[in-house]
Structure 1
Amino acid sequence: MLLVFIPFFLTVKGIFSATSCPDGFEPHHGSCYFFSHDKETWTGAYQSCKIFDAMLVEVNSADEDAYLSSKARTLGNYWYIGLSDKLVEGEYIWESSLQVLTGDAFSNWGVGEPNGAGDEDCVVYAPSINYQWGDVICTRTEHYICEKSADNEQIVG
């Protein structure tokens, strides 16, 4: 008796989308975030993110801010983001996109911030103001958050 094995394949129609982030990065709504283990000055943090082919995080929405501030709160510490007024005092610019933070753009400054006290030109999530944004001196060494776009893999069945 001869047995013939005929493979049976089930074809599923549709699209499956998966978000892929590099090791050490966490996915959230189409972006990948890296929360540093080390501390750097703001410039060092900016350069460290570039090594990962990423940027210091640019916070564009309340949802993104809620995710980042919650994670920062869980981890503790101060966290640099990619916002500064290093070029023109009082004019905050996202360093990677060079977008000026306008009055109608999302922001989450803590009470009394930014205060510009003592040449404070760089922005952090600050535990002292409930993980809202505060300005600090750029040469402080703090943790930092990098961001990059997630690789979206499309699988068609």
Structure 2
Amino acid sequence: MSTWNLVSFVVLTTLAANSNVLVRADCPDGWVKHQESCHFFSHDRLSWPGAIVVCKLIGGYLAEVQDDSEKNFLDTTVDQQNEHYWIGAHDAVQEGSFVWATSRQPISVNHFVHSPDNYKNNEGCIEIDSDGNWNDNDCMTTFRYICERP
């Protein structure tokens, strides 16, 4: 892909992500509908900050769990894929106080099978592991990621 085509793609993608003109009742190709949201389960691997950027570029945000139904949907889907996936929670502002990156709403440690442990004082971003369990991990580790859009 030429540099011009890449720049055009990024500009058009950014414009589309920020546009209120196009409204879709269904999810875009490659996205999965659950309740009122669409979810995109990536096949590539990025760091947590990289996943934040890509989700925004494709018109969403790193997934934020709103209720038990959505948590079960994400955990089950990830478990079936047998991969690790980033979701949009971190504790960068205050160690041990996890919040969603986009909404800034706090999350409960009740979502974790094992309490987050901040192993080696270097784990501040949340992944769903290959068993569908939530875990804090090093934000620069590369995992698949889940984007969400309304």
With the shorter chain as reference, the TM-score category is: 0.7 to 0.9
1:146 aligned onto 2:125: no
1:146 aligned counterpart, secondary structure: strand
Which residue of structure 2 lines up, in the alignment, with residue 94 of structure 1? 100
2:111 aligned counterpart, secondary structure: coil
1:20 aligned counterpart, secondary structure: coil
Matching of residues 50-89 of structure 1 within 5 Å: 50-89=56-95
Which residue of structure 1 lines up, in the alignment, with residue 127 of structure 2? 124
- Deviation of residue 101 (structure 1)? 2.1
Aligned residue identity for 2:134? W
2:119 aligned counterpart, secondary structure: coil
Deviations 1:2-26 (A, max 9, x none): xxxxxxxxxxxxxxxx941111111
Is the contact between residue 19 and residue 27 of structure 1 (CA under 8 Å) also seen in structure 2? no
The answer to which structure has the higher helix fraction is 2
**Structure 2 unaligned spans of 5+:** 1-23
The answer to which structure has the higher strand fraction is 1
Paired with 1:102 and 1:26, the residues of 2 have a C-alpha distance of: 25
**How many pairs are equivalent?**
126
CA RMSD in angstroms comes to 1.5
Which residue of structure 1 lines up, in the alignment, with residue 19 of structure 2? none
Paired with 2:108 and 2:36, the residues of 1 have a C-alpha distance of: 24
Aligned residue identity for 2:129? A
**Structure 1 unaligned spans of 5+:** 1-17, 150-157
Which residue of structure 2 lines up, in the alignment, with residue 42 of structure 1? 48
Q: Which has the larger radius of gyration?
A: 1
Which piece of structure 1 moves more, 31-40 or 113-122?
A: 113-122
TM-score by length of structure 1 reads: 0.76
Aligned residue identity for 1:116? N
Aligned residue identity for 2:148? E
Matching of residues 5-20 of structure 1 within 5 Å: 19-20=25-26
- Deviation of residue 102 (structure 1)? 5.0
